[in-house]
Amino acid sequence: MPVNLRRLIVWSIIGTGISSVTTQILTIREFLTQFQGNEITISLVLFSWLLLTGLGSLAAKTIKRPSTRIYTLLTFAIAIGPLIQILAIRGFREPLITHGASPGFYAIFIYIVITIAPYCVLTGFILPFAQKVLNDNNYDFESWQVYITDNIGDVLGGILFSFVLVYLLKPFSAIAITSAPLFLVVFLFLQRSRSYFLLLTALALTSLFYTYALDRSFEKQSLSTQYGDIIHYSESPYGRIVVSKEGPQHTFWESGTPLYSDANIINSEEKIHYPLSQLDKTGNVLLISGGLGETLDEISKYNPTHVDYVELDPYLTDAALGLGVIKKSPFLDIINTDGRRHIKMTKKRYDAIIIDLPDPDTFQINRFFTKEFFSAAKKVLKRDGVFSVGVGYSQNYLSDIRKKKLSILYNTVRLYFKNVMFLPGQKAYLICRDGALSSNIPARLKSKSIKTSYIEGFFYGNVTQERIKRLKDSLDPNEEINTDFEPRLTNTVFQEWFTKHNTSPRLFIVILFVLAVIYLVFLRREEYILFSTGLTTMGVEMLIIFSFQVVYGYIYLQIGAIITAFLLGLLPGAIAGNTWKLRNRSKLIFSEALFLSILLLFYVWVAYFRNELHPFFFLGFCFLFSFLCGFQFPVVTNTIGEERSPVAGCLAADLCGASVGTLATGAILIPFWGIKSAVIFLILVKISSTIVTLFFEKKTA
């Protein structure tokens, strides 16, 4: 007996949701590793994803004669699309971006759009197309039912990936599992229509798909264009761990960032000896990141009582131990947790705290360069203990932006330490202490009978008094203070990045603004409500991502849980919006008021409290916003009326608004003006849609 067409299409919509959400999360993580990504990378990926999906939904409005066979082929394309997309992201980098080069804003944006456009447009197109196929075959399937069915798949995909697949499988294997329902539906479609040649072709292509998707060596080989000769590869919930080899040199990578090369003794000596040489006796040492290679050997020269090496990702330290890059020692304790959390929870007091992290180009890293962190670190330092942190620096030229970066860092740490000294090495190292500090590091090492390879012979030629004075004279005491929620250093690092590539996002922002205005001119008033809701909801999602970074610092793991929480509320919200017996206009006014109330609560927390909330508060906040977003969709489509086929236009308005909200908050407002300014912007957007709801009663009654 043939399978019911309606049932097959419903399952295909659910399967598309499962596959597309998993692919979205994997794509974000993939680009984070491709570009040593920050929140701007996340924003660009989500913006492009939502905008392209919205354009796909708009394109479906032009279809007048839907075909079941075409729908089947599109479903098959969506099933194989994720693997092709990830391969494209990994493989097209070399043709598009010079090997070893750091790409700028526009190069990253174009690369993202080129690699994800086919899949995103297709997934946006297929939902309204599915409704057209059903209606054309005399099945009654309304817009809100399409929305709810898609949400079921989205939620299932988010839960499956965030709580199961991320811990167990690499990306290709995860894609193999989440594409399976779509392949099954396609086979049933083709068997139902007795298209046996197409069925055999689909079976052959599916076999080829799984041959490659489940081949571990093929997945490892697909990364070789980025990393070269790979001798170790693992996917951690926190990031991608790769160890590559070039000649005799081994390099450790975490999420695309080179952490350690065994030919770089200079960095190991500078970051350890500059601070530890200041101490008369070395007891307890806290090292936050940077413990690979010679680092611990250099610390051991001081005969420390105990060393706590804190590294968030256990996969990284396990790989390093397995390859002998970390050697076990009686004094060493490896602690796999967030560095700030360790400082908050530890009962120990340290003689030295050494931070070895990249420049604060993400909120996650910025947390270790703020007044809140310096205050906490000072509390776990012993009397006259030493604190050290380094930032990127050019020995021969100090641009205005770099002067600003150094000044912000200096002014911030100066709040908590009596003596602060910059030493110009490969990085600009900030040595902080309440006790005395000496810049004559070789003399301090000689007095302790400590031998070094680099400092002993080259320090005086590189760290000259002239360079130290130039660094000190460049500091501006009037520069701002860096905080968790107002990341002045991150702002400056972004400016430095744009200056380095001689680019500016202004043209992009202007073009986006003009296109958004043109789009809004042609929107129905009801659709504008969904546009504003999509904008606000994704804006809040970016706020949560940034805030979670600030508080907990491991967004690579939690990005899936946050996206899932935002999806989880859509289904019950849509059901409530469709079943609640109240006038449509009253429903919209009620939901708009709740939107504004929750945004105001978030603003109060950001502006006045900023305390460390449990992760469930963040996820609960996501759920509330998605509930309201889901609530409004069936209300608006019912207001427009099914006879006017509202699903494509409403989906497009929601997705296009979401794309604008993602970019405006994640790539512009938060990085450059802080979280408070982004919240105010979202409140103003929701006030505008509330005004539309209140003053166009005839349209929304």
pLDDT for the residue 236: 85
The DSSP secondary structure of 370-401, one letter per residue, reads SHHHHHHHHHTEEEEEEEEEEEE--SS---HH
Is residue 281 exposed (0-12), middle (13-18) or buried (19+ Cβ within 10 Å)? exposed
Residues 483-509: tens digit of each pLDDT: 888 888 888 877 777 777 777 777 888
pLDDT band at 701 (very low <50, low <70, confident <90, very high): very low
Q: Do 560 and 162 meet the contact criterion of CB atoms below 8 Å apart? A: yes
pLDDT band at 553 (very low <50, low <70, confident <90, very high): low
Q: Do 307 and 293 meet the contact criterion of CB atoms below 8 Å apart? A: no
**How far is C-alpha 210 from the geometric centre of its chain's CA atoms?**
29
pLDDT higher than 50, residue 291 = yes
Compute the chain's Rg from CA coordinates: 27
Residues 599-629: tens digit of each pLDDT: 999 899 888 876 667 777 888 888 888 898 8
Pairing of strands 381-392, 427-433: antiparallel
The mean predicted confidence, pLDDT, of the chain is: 86
Please compute the mean of the pLDDT values over residues 561-589 and round it to a whole number.
Answer: 83
Sequence-ordered alpha helix ranges (H) in 35-142: 39-60, 68-91, 93-96, 105-136
For 309, the 3-state DSSP assignment is strand
- Alpha-carbon distance 104 to 497, whole Å? 8
- Alpha-carbon distance 395 to 576, whole Å? 62
Please compute the mean of the pLDDT values over residues 507-535 and round it to a whole number.
Answer: 86
pLDDT higher than 80, residue 58 = yes
Q: Where is average pLDDT lowest: 108-122, 416-430, 449-463, 494-508?
A: 494-508
pLDDT for the residue 643: 67
pLDDT for the residue 70: 93
DSSP 477: T
pLDDT for the residue 699: 45
Q: Where is average pLDDT lowest: 15-19, 580-584, 599-603?
A: 580-584
pLDDT for the residue 616: 77
Q: Where is average pLDDT lowest: 98-107, 115-124, 195-204?
A: 98-107
Choose among 670, 46, 21: nearest CA to 363.
Answer: 670
pLDDT for the residue 36: 66
DSSP 214: T
- Alpha-carbon distance 24 to 33, whole Å? 14
pLDDT band at 1 (very low <50, low <70, confident <90, very high): very low
pLDDT higher than 70, residue 155 = yes
- Alpha-carbon distance 272 to 340, whole Å? 20
pLDDT for the residue 449: 92
pLDDT band at 9 (very low <50, low <70, confident <90, very high): very high
Name the one residue in this structure whose structure tokens are 């950001």.
Answer: 606
- Alpha-carbon distance 663 to 516, whole Å? 12
The pair of structure tokens assigned to 257 is 């960032």
pLDDT for the residue 27: 94
- Alpha-carbon distance 217 to 228, whole Å? 14
pLDDT higher than 80, residue 270 = yes
**How far is C-alpha 491 from the geometric centre of its chain's CA atoms?**
17
**How far is C-alpha 262 from the geometric centre of its chain's CA atoms?**
29
Could you list the beta-strand ranges (E) of 237-359. Answer: 239-246, 249-254, 257-261, 284-288, 306-310, 332-335, 350-355
pLDDT higher than 70, residue 696 = no
Greatest CA span in the chain, whole angstroms?
90
The percent of residues in the chain predicted with pLDDT above 90, rounded, is: 39
pLDDT higher than 90, residue 637 = no
- Alpha-carbon distance 71 to 433, whole Å? 68
Q: Do 653 and 33 meet the contact criterion of CB atoms below 8 Å apart? A: no
- Alpha-carbon distance 655 to 51, whole Å? 6
Element counts in the chain: helices (H) and strands (E): 32, 11
pLDDT band at 555 (very low <50, low <70, confident <90, very high): low
pLDDT for the residue 245: 84
pLDDT for the residue 413: 95
> Would you put residue 308 in left (φ > 0), alpha (ψ -120 to 50) or beta?
beta
pLDDT band at 88 (very low <50, low <70, confident <90, very high): very high
Q: Where is average pLDDT lowest: 57-66, 365-374, 560-569?
A: 560-569
pLDDT band at 349 (very low <50, low <70, confident <90, very high): very high
Please compute the mean of the pLDDT values over residues 96-124 and round it to a whole number.
Answer: 83
pLDDT for the residue 72: 94
- Alpha-carbon distance 202 to 189, whole Å? 11
Residues 674-686: tens digit of each pLDDT: 888 899 999 999 9
pLDDT for the residue 212: 95
pLDDT for the residue 700: 43
pTM: 0.83
Higher pLDDT, 94 or 367: 367
- Alpha-carbon distance 676 to 661, whole Å? 15
- Alpha-carbon distance 286 to 340, whole Å? 12
pLDDT for the residue 466: 85
Higher pLDDT, 303 or 567: 303
